[in-house]
Amino acid sequence: MFAAEARLPVICFSHLRWRGVFQRPQQIMSRLAARGHTVYYVEEEIRSDDPVPEMMVERCETGIHVVTPVLPTASDREPTLRTLLDDFLAEQDITDTIAWFYTPMALPWAARRSFSAVVYDCMDELSAFRFAPTDLPKLEDALMRRADVMFTGGASLFESKRHSHPNIHCEPSGVDLAHFGQARHKVPEPADQAAIAGPKFGYFGVIDERLDLALIQDVARLRPDWNIVMVGPLAKITDADLPRAPNLHWLGGRPYAALPAYLAHWDVALMPFQLNAATRFISPTKAPEYLAGGVRIVSTAIADVVSRYRGVDSVRIAAGAEEFVAQATALLTQRGEALSVEVEELLQSMSWDRLVERMAAELDKAVERHSSVRSQPEAGVVTAT
């Protein structure tokens, strides 16, 4: 159980929109809210022609307070955000709070505040992503110095940063077993996918620069009798970047609640990621989600996928379109068969509930340490260059 003093409000600074793809921040914050924390999820700012800055607040269905800073177009970013944050916390009568960072870019305007504990949940190597801010590595170093506890979203990321923080823990992203387990039952197929003939090979998730679009195109070309279904919003690429073929279907983003209904009617699930700097440290959440739905996977050789699923026959690794086709063909013969006991046991160990339970224990310790010896913020203010 959490210590009473650990049930402090949590202010989470994230680079991801709450209403975007439902992934690690949303899964963890929802569960912290269920444990009794008041959670304020602060997104990146938006710009407006309105001359008065404000914090837009929306309480979502899971009880999370989604906070979006709105800045005048011509305003100076960091001082305005700093003032908005101070005023917002004062209005909410929040003095003691836990700061939970997903993005180091929020540190410059939060650095002056004193928190009951500071958490850095490093879910990706953001500096390797397309259009990453040049000052992100410097700010991450400052955040790691400030953080009381640090988590990483995968094993490769942990190995990369394990010597950067004295209290770091590897916590690979989990899976909502009950939610994706719906795909194992007879659920109606969404109309847009029902119009597509089988066999169906599917992907859901963000469609961005990390996907190997050439590989997807080549697989579609090699097997024109297969239909490849791609479900997800575009990010940092445009519609013009997407390959086109009669058997290649880009359905766009769909709500998290609808994903099991798509998954239930796939013959094989795909993880066609490029192997480059942007994917070197990723630990895709969709792998356990696919398996929780009873669907087998073909993936490129993402390091965390290879290590986490080594020896698991339901997850095949392939390089190049021809090998992708060969492995997918082999998995087609297993369609409808139960997953192995080993896979089911592995999935049970990956639940979000268990992950948050472990994180909560570490957060509890950090708050207790702060209650005995209050840490002071770093001198000065961290500023972006």
**124: exposed, middle or buried (C-beta count within 10 Å: 0-12, 13-18, 19+)?**
buried
pLDDT at residue 385 greater than cutoff 50: no
Give the tens place of pLDDT for each residue, 139-157.
999 999 999 999 999 999 9
Q: Does the domain spanning 177-345 belong to CATH 3.40.50.2000?
A: yes
Neighbours of 173 (CB within 10 A): 23
In which residue are the tokens 């997807």 written? 216
pLDDT for the residue 130? 74
Rounded average pLDDT over 316-335: 96
Share of the chain above pLDDT 90, in %: 83
Neighbours of 24 (CB within 10 A): 23
Q: Where in the chain is the domain with CATH 3.40.50.2000?
A: 4-174+352-372, 177-345
pLDDT for the residue 372? 67
Q: Are the beta carbons of 114 and 364 closer than 8 angstroms?
A: no
Domain 4-174+352-372 fold is Rossmann fold (3.40.50)
Q: Both tokens of residue 25?
A: 């921040």
